[in-house]
Every structure is written in C-alpha cells, then in structure tokens.
Structure 1
Amino acid sequence: MNDPIFRKGVHHIARCCLGAGIAAVALAGCGAGADEEAGQDDPALLAAYTDTIAYCGAEERADASAQEGGWSMTSPSKYGNPSYEASALVSPRGAQLQFALQMPVAVRDYRGATGPVVPSGLAKPEWRMGVILEGRLPARAAACVLSLAKLTTPAFVPTLPGMSAPAPVYGYTLNWRSKWATAVPVAGVPGDLIDGFEFVSTFVPGSARAFFALPKARLASTQGVAICHLGPTATSWDCATPDVADQGQEWGMTRQGVRPGVYVLTAPRG
C-alpha cells in the first residue's frame, strides 16, 4: 500500500534544516522566505496560535523544529475523563512539506451506541481517520486532529450505611464534543454516524484531504457512505460522497479540501 493513508509508524517528529547529513525523509522544507515572517507579531494570529496549541495539548519545541522550515508532530492523546486520541502539528516559522503528512487518530464504529458503551478495540494501524496535509505550512501554524467521541467513566457513588449498593455500571459514557460545541448536533447527519474527528487549526490548508480507513468487516459496502463537515459556526452539515479505494481488508475513503471544524463518516441507516 503506497497511499499515505495506510502508512504505519506515523507518530514522529520532523526537524528541519539540520545540515546535509540529515536524511531527506526527515526534512520538512528549508528556507522559508521573509514573507513567512510577516504577520508573526500580529496579536490576533499570536492569540489563535497560543490558544490552538493549548487546546490541542501540543507544544512549541525549543529545537530545530522552531527554525525556518521546521515543524514537529506529536500525539498528545488523553486518557482520563474525558479520554480521546490526538495528533498535533506545530510550525512556528512555517515550512514547505516535502511529503504528504498524515495526522491520524483511531477510528471506531459507534453505530447503535447509546449511553454507556465499550468502544470496539480496533488494533490495526491501517484503521485510522484524520487529515493528510501537503504543500506549505504558514508561519505560526498549529493544528490538531482529535477524536470527536469524548469518553468518560461513570462517577463512583459511595454506599452509606443502611443503603443498598447501586448497580455497577461498566464501560464509558459517549459524548460527541468539539472545541466549538459541548454537544455536536450529530442527530442532524443523514445516516448512521460511524465515527468522526475535529480538526482545529490556525490556518486553512492549501492542499489537504480528510480520510477514513475502516475494515470491511465493519463496513461491507461503501454504497451510500458520506463524509460530512460541520464548520465552527455552521448550523447544517455539508455532506459529500467520498473517493473510495479498495485496499484489500480495508476501505480507504477521502474527501478533498479540509477546513477547521468537525468531520464524520456516515452510512445508510440500517
């Protein structure tokens, strides 16, 4: 599989402009021009940059990734209350990406899940969702992909003397939550929601794809499947039929053009 959707080992850090001895695959484009410096001191841009880094759980590194042409990528996933996966990117001074960069999180199948749920433990690295970036990153670029499903464990209720013990509750409580909404209106999507992610960014990528890679064991056919987007201030979903690639045991589904907001994969109601 040569498509970057299905590459393994994507959790890495790229550092740029370290000299000719660095392997080309580690480079993310050296020599950003003076135009990349313009606007870096803009208060609104700096505020958005700082806010995005904080929300994503990312960090601006004090190493080569902070220089012209540098960037770093981390996986600041959170396991607690709530629990979710994350993939974050930071480029303080901008960079030209020399290859398609994948920002992935695990994909699960939440169809039919209500109340306490135990998400399916999908193990293969090919079973992912997120964003694939190409082209140039502007100065003060910060972005992340976070699982839209935020999972919380039930609160512990102590038993007092003379009281009967409450019935045990297992699993997690599923909440569809994003930076822009404590309750994402997933009931408005046309079909059954499989899974989704939020894309938080200080910039609109010039070239990017939203992707979902799901095993055929969970999705027998892609007929009627859609990738839907909900912008930060939008009130209705924008759905489109994805480009589909048969990858053997998995379906690879992509949608061209990525903007900040929420992306979900839906299937016909069954």
Structure 2
Amino acid sequence: MKHTQNRSPIPRRLAITIGLALLAGCGGGGGEEDAPPADMAAYTETMAFCEGTEPDGQGGWSLSSPSKYGNPSYDASALVSPRGAELSFTLLMKVGVHDYRGVNGFFIPSAYMEPEWGMGVQLQGRLPAGAACVRSLGKLTPPLNLPGGFHMPDNGYTLGWKSKWSAAVPVANVPGAVIDGFEFVSSFAPPDAQPFFILSKTRLASTQGAAICYLAPAAANWDCRTPSVTDLGKNWGLARQGAQAGVYVLAAPR
C-alpha cells in the first residue's frame, strides 16, 4: 500500500551523519500500516499537547515544528502517525541545542546556530501508530510590562526548566553541569529510537565525563549514563540507547 507522508525538510548532511555515524544503518521500507492507536484517548491528548498535524489520508506520518515565540518561548518538533508506518531512513525529531551553563537570571540568548547542531530523538524501522513531540526543556520568559506603561527592552529572557510533568524540573540534582535538554512526550514506545545531542567542540572541548541523564515522568531520581560519542569534525555527536517519554539532559563535569 502506498503511504502518504507529509514531512518537514531534513538537512541531508545531518540525516546522513546521524543515520550512518550514530546508528550505522536504517530500517527497511514498504509494509502495511498498523491499526489505529489502541489508546485513542492518549493519542488525541498527545497530539493536542504537541500541537501536531495529522497527515493527509489515513496512512503515513507528519512531522512539523510548532515552536513558540512568546511567553514562554521554546523550540518544538511534533510527529503524528495515525496508523503507523515503515521508515526506510532515520527520522529526526530535532530542536535547537544551546549552552545554558552559567546562566542565572536575566540573559540574552545567542541567536547563532549551525544547522548540524541540535538535540532530540531519532527513530528508525517500524513507526507505531501514535503521536509524539520533542520540546526544549529550557523555556524562555521574555521581559514583562511594568506598572505605569514602562516596558523593559525586549533583548533578554529568564530561563526556566519546565516540562509537561513539572513546572520546575530538578536540574540542580543532575550530577554535573547541565548544558541543555528536552522533554519527549509520546503516546507510544518507539521500538528503535535514541536520544541524541550534536553540539560544537568549541562549546564542549572534551566529552570526558559527559553524561546523558533521563528523568521519567513519575521518577524522583535521574538515570545518568555515559553516551556513545561520534567525532563529527567540528562537532560531537552523543547518544544513548532507548527513548522513553520523559526528560533528557546533557551534562558535563562541573
């Protein structure tokens, strides 16, 4: 059966880099769609939360970027697959990655971003029926209007670590200095997926002691693991096995 697939353009070099360097292969093509999601309530709720868009027709999948620029501001990548699909390449749910070490209070974020830099979840092989999204864990709040009609210059933000499950994610409990992170919200458990971070070597000179830490929605303690590391020339690629709903952060030694 032919699938209808609506997807945002993925930079070819980034897709090849992650697909070959980090995953060393991709899933096969063809195959029939799955049945609709078993838990339609979870599918509907997740798609609404993620602000995803269903693809045209019954099959295939749709990848969009419902990022927010306001109060708060954050990057987002949303995936919707009403009946599942077979992926013949590595699919990236990717948002921008920053270096928030040392940020405290009002600050001006850097607008410079290379297309290779990013973080999120990469999927391959069989895509189950469902909906999911990746959102920046660091939510940026712009200046507010002050009494008397005065307005602070719109040239800075305050940083808050917020997820679907917590208005104050306990990043202070991470054993290391948190560089950046994302929340992964999903109505399905992807069978072959990895959380990943790609950032410049000018930001992280060495991966010695680096960790990707995971916090489950109902958990109190972080699960930190040494990531697999790929030298990408000017950048590092870091990943860990398995991706589940929850929060992921990249940490470096303090």
Q: Same fold (TM over 0.5)?
A: yes
Match of 2:4 in 1: none
Report what 2:192 is aligned to.
Answer: 207
**Mapping for residues 188-199 of structure 1, pairs under 5 Å:** 188-199=173-184
Change (3 A) 1:168 1:87: closer
Q: 3-state SS of the aligned residue for 1:125? A: coil
Flag structure 1 segments of 5+ consecutive residues without an equivalent: 8-26
- Which residue is equivalent to 2:15? 4
Aligned-residue offset at 1:166 = 8.8
- Identical-residue share of aligned pairs (%): 58
Larger radius of gyration: 1
Distance (whole Å) between structure 2 residues aligned to residue 229 and residue 99 of structure 1:
26
Structure 2 counterpart of 1:47, one-letter code: A
1:116, 1:170 within 8 Å by CA — same for their partners in 2?
no
Per-residue deviation at 1:90? Answer: 0.4
1:167 is displaced (CA, Å) by: 7.7
Q: Is 2:56 the partner of 1:55? A: no
TM-score by length of 2: 0.86
Do the aligned partners of 2:73 and 2:139 also contact (CA within 8 Å) in 1?
yes
Cross-structure match for 1:103: 93
TM-score by length of 1: 0.81
Asked if 1:94 is matched to 2:84, the reply is yes
After TM superposition, give the deviation of residue 158 of structure 1 in Å: 3.0
Q: Any idea what the Cα deviations from partners look like across 1:174-219, whole Å, max 9, x if unmatched?
A: 1100000011010100010000000000111111111100101111
Q: Give the count of matched residue pairs.
A: 234
- The answer to whether 1:130 aligns with 2:120 is yes
Corresponding residue of 1:10: none
Unpaired runs of 5+ residues, structure 2, are 1-11, 19-27
Paired with 1:77 and 1:167, the residues of 2 have a C-alpha distance of 24
1:153 aligns with 2:166: no
Residue 128 of structure 2 contacts residue 188 of structure 2 at CA under 8 Å; is this kept in 1? Answer: yes
Conservation of the 8 A alpha-carbon contact between 2:145 and 2:151:
no
Equivalent residue, structure 2, for 1:174: 159
- Over the aligned positions, Cα root-mean-square deviation in angstroms equals 2.2
Among residues 215, 224, 244, which one is paired with 1:239 in the alignment? 224
TM-aligned CA deviation for residue 138 of structure 1: 1.9
Is contact 1:149–1:174 with CA below 8 Å preserved after alignment? yes
Aligned to 2:205: 220
- 1:122 CA displacement: 3.2
Q: 2:234 aligns with which of 232, 245, 249?
A: 249
Asked if the contact 1:5–1:132 (Cα under 8 Å) also holds between the matched residues in 2, the reply is no
Matched residues in 2 for 1:179 and 1:166: separation? Answer: 30
Q: CA deviation at 1:172?
A: 0.4
1:84 and 2:84 correspond: no
Displacement of 1:53 after TM fit? 0.8
The separation in 1 between residues aligned to 2:151 and 2:90, in whole angstroms, is 51
Distance in 2 (alpha carbons) for counterparts of 1:144 and 1:202:
10
Report the CA distance between 1:30 and its aligned residue. 4.3
Shift of 1:100: 1.0
Farther-moved stretch of structure 1 (114-123 vs 128-137): 114-123
Q: Distance in 2 between matches of 1:246 and 1:59?
A: 35
Take 1:226 and 1:258, find their aligned partners in 2: how far apart are those partners? 15
Write the letter of the residue equivalent to 2:233: G
8 A Cα contact 2:121 2:196, kept in partner: yes
Tell me how far apart the structure 2 counterparts of residues 158 and 180 of structure 1 sit (CA, whole Å): 33
1:209-240 Cα shifts (integer Å, max 9, x gaps):
11100101111110110000000101000000
